[in-house]
Structure 1
Amino acid sequence: MTTRREAWPPGTPAWADITVPDLAVARAFYGPLLGWQFEVGGPETGYYTQAYVGDRRVVGIGEPMSDDPAPPPAWCVYLASDDLVATVAAVAEAGGKEVVPAMPILDFGSMAIVVDTAGAVFGIWEAASHTGWDVTDEPGSMVWCEVLVHDQPAAVAFYQQVFGYDVEDLGAPGFTYATLSLDGHPAAGIGGYGPQAGTDAPAAWTIYFAVTDTDASAAQVSELGGTVVSPPTDSTFGRMAIVSGPFGEVFALISPVGAT
């Protein structure tokens, strides 16, 4: 497990949040499922709550702050940057696009939302007082993030150009996957959709949350109003399931190998 109070290294997944139509419904789902406690922000932060494991923050959940139609709820993974303007420029140079322009968030830090060359949306976070999540790799917290695309080599080239990752190919016949590492530490993964996914499957980032018992947690997803998209299966890294929350947002659950 990892507890960290400092800013995450550039290119490392550092935060995730989601905008939902109803915060109360989201709290009622994620609280029991992942053991989260919630702290609701004041008027200065809008309708936003941070989820905690103990006293360590893990993600943010908010409601739309205007009457404009909100996009379908989806978890947004933020990659850390120590120079937001330069990183957004690097995204554009590599063929990506800025979706939400770079902006400061009070004294917490600065953010932008961008899209990669495959169409997958992600965020960029330059920390100030808010350094991102405080805990990873234990139940209720993020344990892995990955992006799935149709043209995996092109996506690898994009992320490598923007963040300078080292790439390790883990592919095998019928399986296209690579890890993106920084200073020898795996940061994220990039996978290629297989033919069974169909050409309409959207490129997207997925966040994996650690649980102690994937089968029990997957069953609880259904009880709490979510859906099991892909039932629990064993993998090299642990027993995992793909699920969706009460608003259709997709994420993964995994009980990692060797977890206690």
Structure 2
Amino acid sequence: MPVSSCGLRRLELSVAEPELSVDFFAGVLGWTVIAEPGGSFSGWVGDRLVAGVVAGEQGWRVFFGGDGPRELKINSSVDTGRVLHGPWAPAPRAGEPCWVELMTAEPEDEYWVGELGWEVRPGVEDFVLFTSSRHGDPRPVAGRLTTDRASGWQVYFAVDDLEAACARVSELDGRVLLEPATVPTGRIASIEGPHGGACVLLEQPKGWGGTWAAS
């Protein structure tokens, strides 16, 4: 079994209009944007890389820290290097990733356990927590929800004020797909930019995973 992955190495958003998309997320999440070679961009909060934005049509891709770079199922990969976001990383600041959740109609928990060295902790109803023990006691590192409403890894970003962030989404021609609501993870809203990149906003998470951080 590989060494247990303890969080995200990085994120990448693949969309048709990278510059317009990174400007949208910078406006909503307060990123500092840097132009990269080849027409791609990166978004930063302070000295921490949040995401790369590149040309394509695949949406969000998550890169978990691990012991060898490789492709995984769905929209994910393993990358080597320091984990920037996760249960043992510094607490998420506004604009940074603060959780990831796999939405799928066909749970394959054994696959993720085998590839990333995670354990499975039952949650509520059709939800489970994946935990990592890489640095001691198990901590929640990702979630999995069995559903036929969506598919793929869903990315969560921390915000200080959920209503204000949703207002910025509308001002920048994005869509609020799910109005602010309270779920087991915390207080969330689901949004999408005018050029793609649907994600979830989580208000003032105290740690990686919001309320799951204390579980």
Q: What is the TM-score with the length of structure 2 in the denominator?
A: 0.82
- Which of residues 100, 106, 123 is equivalent to 1:151? 106
TM-align CA RMSD: 2.2
Report the CA distance shift for 1:216/1:139 in structure 2 as closer, same or farther (over 3 A).
Answer: same
Report the CA distance shift for 1:125/1:75 in structure 2 as closer, same or farther (over 3 A).
Answer: same
For the pair 1:245 / 2:198, whether they are aligned, the reply is: no
The equivalent residue for 1:34 is 29
Contact 1:51 1:60 in 2 (8 A): yes
List runs of 5+ in structure 2 lacking aligned partners: 208-215
What is the rounded CA distance, in whole Å, between the counterparts of 2:132 and 2:7 in structure 1?
8
Counterpart mapping for 1:67-86 below 5 A: 70=56, 72-84=57-69
Deviation at 1:73, TM superposition (A): 4.4
For the pair 1:114 / 2:72, whether they are aligned, the reply is: yes
The equivalent residue for 1:170 is 123
Deviation at 1:202, TM superposition (A): 4.4
- Residue by residue over 1:52-111, the C-alpha shift from the partner in whole angstroms, topping out at 9 and shown as x without a partner, is 112221111122xxxxxx4x3411111112123xxxxxxxxxxxxxxxxxxxxxxxxxxx
Deviation at 1:238, TM superposition (A): 2.0
Higher RCO structure, 1 or 2 (CA under 8 Å, sep 6+): 2
Deviation at 1:136, TM superposition (A): 5.3
- Residue by residue over 1:220-240, the C-alpha shift from the partner in whole angstroms, topping out at 9 and shown as x without a partner, is 112112111111101233210
For the pair 1:48 / 2:40, whether they are aligned, the reply is: yes
Instruction: Read off the aligned partner of 2:7 and give its amino acid letter.
Output: T
Aligned-pair identity (%):
23
What is the rounded CA distance, in whole Å, between the counterparts of 1:55 and 1:257 in structure 2?
20
Deviation at 1:132, TM superposition (A): 5.5
The equivalent residue for 1:58 is 50
Instruction: Read off the aligned partner of 1:164 and give its amino acid letter.
Output: G
Tell me how many residue pairs correspond in the alignment. 197
SS of corresponding position for 2:59: coil
The equivalent residue for 2:131 is 181
What is the rounded CA distance, in whole Å, between the counterparts of 2:156 and 2:175 in structure 1?
16
- Which of residues 166, 170, 179 is equivalent to 1:231? 179
